[in-house]
């Protein structure tokens, strides 16, 4: 455990200075920034409470064309924001282009779906947490480190076994399609839409609820140890402590069905630091020696939004799951008839 | 163990685009595009998808009720839309794709009012920042 802590600290130290620069760049709107004193809860802890979003255009991994470039210059960021606005305006005027990923002009759409912007689900229609990073993952590479040979083999075997059985039964569908879990809860990463979360604090506890899909992580900060190693949970077991104005969360005890990239022994350290009235700096490090060749870290701002979280009850109206399975049965039947002829 | 493996398979199959609740192409048939004109019976404002129920009169004069899958309602609420914004009786037009199970269900690629206005757009200003933070 102590070793893990040291690794994580070492990993986080490097991005810390860069983070400082970036954050001051992100928070310079308030001229009183330097004098700003973080609020405290009634029991004297830094106050992280509120409704927030981590909706962003920043990709998790750095795009190839930005290799070696960790930050945008201010003008580049402005240009990016302009491009985003123009993209959305065009979509609102002309409708979403078909999801034709083939690159061949005029080829039929390879996916059928509703127009996201019509339902307010385009990321640009919600408040965005802008920052100058070119990827959420920090460091010169900005990429998830390579998988270990064992992990590569394990995942390849799983994929091979799954091939052709994608719609055999509900168990074969994704955790998201089954309304069970989403990969945006631990660590706190933006999701496609509704990238919103609420933080509530009580004496000795911090609770983080993510709107998608309605999960709450309850984090004790009273110094208790992790639950026994034999108990595993979708989003692991989190314990927290305060380091100055920073909430540090240590999470272990994930299930080996972890919704996070198929890792089996995930260990995660997160740091939440209130940077100004409207911003929390979020940093995380994940490691799983059986999965990745080294730990990796990311950071992004979380910004305040108006209003409340809305309920995201997912099971109740999940008609899509049954429709998908029925569709697969009909398709199989048609194929059988065709081959019988 | 079998169950565990199946669950893992499920989570690894990220065929669905990152922004989707599910793989639409598994539910709807790209080779069955359709255009429906009719009146709203009700709107289920539910997650993970909203569903518009609409009555469509066929060429034979027979009325068939279709269910149209659309987006999750949370952001529509944030942008000022409510359950009452799409009252029963509203005339709408839907372009989309029929479900693979050949039922009268479809995904509503675009949903417009009879006069051509897009159903959910232009309600209120976007929430997104007009400018990036400096």
For residue A139, is pLDDT > 90? Answer: yes
CA distance A160 to chain B (A): 10
CA distance A257 to chain B (A): 6
Residues of B in contact with A317 (CB under 8 A): 44, 46-49, 51
A337 touching chain B per CB within 8 A: no
Percent of chain A with pLDDT over 70: 85
- CB-CB contact of A174 with B21 (8 Å): no
User: Residue A206 region, left (φ>0) first, then alpha (ψ -120 to 50), else beta?
Assistant: beta
Q: How many CA atoms lie within 13 A of A55 on its CB side?
A: 26
In this prediction, residue A69 carries a pLDDT of: 96
Asked whether the ipTM of the predicted complex exceeds the cut of 0.85, the reply is no
Q: State the pLDDT confidence band at A198, using cuts at 50, 70 and 90.
A: very high
Residue A329: closest C-alpha in chain B = B101
Q: Give me the CATH topology for the region B23-113.
A: OB fold (Dihydrolipoamide Acetyltransferase, E2P) (2.40.50)
A297-302 average pLDDT score:
97
Q: What value does the mean pLDDT of chain A take?
A: 86
Distance CA A324, CA A318 (A): 11
List the single residue in B14, B24, B71 with the smallest CB-CB distance to A119: B71
Name the DSSP letter for residue A164: T
Per-residue buried b or exposed e for B118-129, using 16+ beta carbons within 10 Å of the residue's own CB: bbbbeeeebbbe
A123-145 average pLDDT score:
94
Strands B105-113, B63-70: pairing is parallel
For residue A142, is pLDDT > 50? Answer: yes
pLDDT, one tens digit for every residue, chain B (134 residues):
444 444 444 444 333 344 467 788 889 998 899 999 999 999 999 999 999 999 999 989 999 999 999 999 998 888 888 888 889 999 999 999 999 999 999 999 888 988 888 777 655 555 654 444 43
In this prediction, residue A182 carries a pLDDT of: 86
For residue A7, is pLDDT > 80? Answer: no
Strand partners, A246: A243, A273
Please give the backbone phi and psi of residue A158, each rounded to the nearest 5 degrees, phi first.
Answer: -65, -45
- CB-CB contact of A209 with A52 (8 Å): no
Please give the model's pTM, rounded to 2 decimal places: 0.85
A267-278 average pLDDT score:
96
Question: Do residue A323 and residue B14 have CB atoms under 8 angstroms apart?
Answer: no
For residue A24, is pLDDT > 90? Answer: no
CA A276 to chain centre: 22
The ranges assigned to domains in chain B are 23-113
In this prediction, residue A31 carries a pLDDT of: 46
Question: Do residue A120 and residue B133 have CB atoms under 8 angstroms apart?
Answer: no
Question: Do residue A112 and residue B107 have CB atoms under 8 angstroms apart?
Answer: yes
Q: State the pLDDT confidence band at A30, using cuts at 50, 70 and 90.
A: very low
């Amino acid at each position: 455990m102590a070793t893990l802590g040291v690794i994580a600290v070492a990993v986080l130290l490097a991005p810390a200075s860069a983070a400082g620069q970036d954050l001051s760049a992100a928070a310079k709107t308030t001229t009183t920034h330097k004098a700003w004193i973080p609020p405290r809860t009634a029991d004297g802890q830094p106050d992280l409470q509120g409704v927030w979003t981590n909706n962003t255009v920043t990709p998790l991994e750095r795009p190839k064309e930005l290799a070696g470039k960790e930050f945008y210059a201010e003008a580049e960021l402005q240009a990016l924001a302009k491009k985003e606005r123009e993209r959305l305006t065009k979509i609102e005027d002309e409708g979403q282009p078909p999801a034709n990923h083939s690159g061949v002009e005029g080829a039929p759409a390879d996916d059928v779906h509703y127009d996201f912007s019509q339902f307010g689900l385009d990321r640009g229609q919600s408040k965005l947490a802008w920052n100058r990073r070119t990827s959420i993952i920090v460091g010169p590479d900005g990429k998830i480190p390579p998988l270990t040979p064992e992990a590569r083999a394990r995942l390849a075997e799983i994929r091979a076994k799954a091939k052709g059985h994608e719609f055999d039964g509900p168990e074969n569908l994704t955790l998201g399609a089954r309304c069970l879990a989403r990969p945006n809860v631990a660590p706190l990463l933006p999701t496609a839409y509704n990238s919103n979360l609420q933080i509530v604090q009580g004496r000795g506890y911090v609770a983080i609820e993510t709107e998608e899909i309605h999960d709450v992580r309850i984090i004790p900060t009273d110094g208790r140890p992790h639950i026994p190693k034999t108990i595993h949970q979708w989003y692991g077991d989190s314990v927290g402590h305060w380091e100055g104005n920073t909430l540090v969360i240590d999470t272990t005890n994930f299930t080996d069905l972890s919704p996070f990239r198929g890792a089996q022994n995930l260990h995660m350290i997160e740091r939440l630091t209130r940077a100004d009235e409207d911003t929390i700096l979020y940093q995380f490090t994940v490691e799983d020696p059986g999965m990745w060749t080294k730990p990796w870290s990311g950071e992004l701002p979380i910004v305040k939004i108006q209003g409340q979280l809305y309920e995201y009850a997912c099971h109740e109206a999940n008609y899509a799951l049954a429709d998908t399975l029925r569709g697969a049965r009909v398709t199989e039947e048609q194929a059988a008839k065709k081959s019988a002829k | 163990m079998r169950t565990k493996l199946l669950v893992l398979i499920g989570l690894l199959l990220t065929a669905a685009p990152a922004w989707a609740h599910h793989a639409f192409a598994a539910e709807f048939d790209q080779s069955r595009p359709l255009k429906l004109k009719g009146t709203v019976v009700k709107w289920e404002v539910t997650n993970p998808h909203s569903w518009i129920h609409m009555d469509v009169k066929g060429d034979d004069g027979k009325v068939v009720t279709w269910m149209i899958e659309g987006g999750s309602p949370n952001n529509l609420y944030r942008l000022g839309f409510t359950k009452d914004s799409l009252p029963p009786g509203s005339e709408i037009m839907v372009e989309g794709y029929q479900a693979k199970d050949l039922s009268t269900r479809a995904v509503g690629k675009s949903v417009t009012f009879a006069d051509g206005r897009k159903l959910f757009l232009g309600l209120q200003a976007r929430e997104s920042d007009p400018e990036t933070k400096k």
